[in-house]
């Protein structure tokens, strides 16, 4: 007679008693693993065999990610993620994933961040693989606490701003925990000119021109945005006004000079006419056309009507026309 025993916790349990020498376990299960021995007996006596160990192989199960140290994680601290699983044979490789994307060159049981940064924030899970199969762990959230970063001003105006309009600036920042307060500064001043995520300048004037930046702050620190320039049209209007005023003054001065010269010429002519001079003889020069179409410039002598030749076109000299002397006027005595 033969009996099969399974040893457990220093106790033995007889599984079966049989007349054959072979014991078959059909459809093995995980709990079939353990230490077994057999006992042979006859009418004279009995004897136990040495213990043999049976280990049932199975794919990874109960796979989880452990975070060390637990609790809040601050920027710059050291954090280790451990992939824990139950498998036989043990896993021969591990894979790590962040937000569904595999992290390259990380195939060990532990994933370590020696100086964790805000960009390491996210959802992580691991995958354990052995010769029987594989299993993914549930995702765990790694939340890194950090001061505001990537602070910037949105909707910054471009170019010259017309005076009298309203301008709004918005401060954007990434922080964990979220930003608690915002402050606005102008130029190099240490005193804020406004607060809140949005800063509005109503009825803008030239005094509002300058460089502005915002400061975002939470419990872990503060971050400043790059400055943006606000340019108001008032300064350019002054220049245009000066240019226009200078042009108007120039035109007025030219008009005054023209009127003055005209008055002087008119008075001179009136003075000569009152002295009895013939208006015809006031002409200093005249131009005569020759019979051949050439032009000659002549001078009228004040004592005679005969012209003196001043200039003649090249070519044969043609006889000049004689300007008739005006008939003398009868003056009563």
Phi, psi angles (nearest 5°) of residue 173: -155, 155
Please state, in angstroms and rounded to a whole number, the distance separating the CA atoms of residues 265 and 269: 6
Please state, in angstroms and rounded to a whole number, the distance separating the CA atoms of residues 321 and 307: 9
pLDDT at 106: 87
pTM: 0.55
> Looking at residue 221, what DSSP letter applies?
E
Q: What domains are there in the chain, each with its CATH number?
A: 2-54 (no CATH), 58-142 (2.60.40.10), 148-235 (2.60.40.10), 279-312 (no CATH)
pLDDT at 273: 59
Q: What is the mean pLDDT of each run of 10 residues along the chain (333 residues)?
A: 84 80 83 89 91 92 95 93 96 95 92 94 95 96 93 90 91 95 93 94 90 95 94 64 71 78 72 54 45 48 49 47 51 45
pLDDT at 322: 47
3-state secondary structure of 305: coil
Q: What are the residue ranges of helices labelled H in the chain?
A: 234-274
Please state, in angstroms and rounded to a whole number, the distance separating the CA atoms of residues 160 and 234: 9
Strand pairing partners for 213? 185
Sort 63 into a burial class: Cβ within 10 Å, 0-12 / 13-18 / 19+: buried
């Amino acid at each position: 007679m033969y009996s099969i025993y399974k040893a457990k916790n220093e106790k033995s349990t007889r599984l079966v008693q049989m007349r054959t020498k072979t014991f078959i376990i059909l459809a093995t299960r995980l709990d079939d693993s353990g230490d077994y021995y057999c006992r042979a007996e006859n009418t004279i006596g009995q004897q136990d065999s040495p213990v043999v160990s049976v280990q049932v192989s199975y794919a990874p199960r109960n796979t989880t990610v452990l975070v060390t140290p637990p609790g809040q994680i601050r920027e710059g601290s050291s954090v280790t993620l451990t992939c824990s699983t139950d498998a036989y044979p043990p896993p021969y490789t591990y894979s790590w994933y962040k937000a569904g994307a595999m992290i390259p060159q990380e195939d060990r049981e532990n994933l370590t961040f020696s100086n964790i940064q805000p960009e390491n924030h996210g959802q992580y899970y691991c995958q354990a693989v052995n010769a029987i199969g594989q299993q993914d762990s549930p995702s765990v959230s790694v939340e890194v606490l950090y001061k505001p970063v990537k602070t910037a001003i949105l909707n910054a105006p471009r170019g010259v701003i017309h005076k009298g309009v309203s301008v709004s600036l918005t401060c954007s920042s990434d922080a964990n925990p979220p930003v608690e307060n915002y402050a606005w500064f102008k130029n190099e001043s240490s005193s804020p000119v406004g607060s809140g995520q949005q800063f509005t300048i109503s009825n803008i004037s030239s005094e509002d021109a300058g460089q502005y930046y915002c400061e975002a702050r939470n419990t872990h620190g503060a971050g400043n945005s790059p400055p943006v320039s606000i340019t108001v049209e008032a300064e350019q209007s002054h220049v245009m006004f000066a240019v226009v005023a200078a042009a108007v003054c120039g035109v007025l001065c030219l008009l005054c000079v023209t009127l003055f010269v005209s008055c002087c010429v008119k008075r001179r002519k009136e003075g000569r006419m009152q002295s009895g001079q013939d208006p015809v003889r006031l002409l200093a020069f005249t131009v005569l056309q020759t019979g051949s179409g050439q032009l000659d410039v002549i001078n009228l002598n004040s004592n005679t009507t005969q012209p003196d030749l001043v200039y003649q076109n090249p070519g044969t000299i043609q006889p000049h026309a004689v300007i008739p002397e005006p008939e003398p006027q009868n003056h009563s005595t």
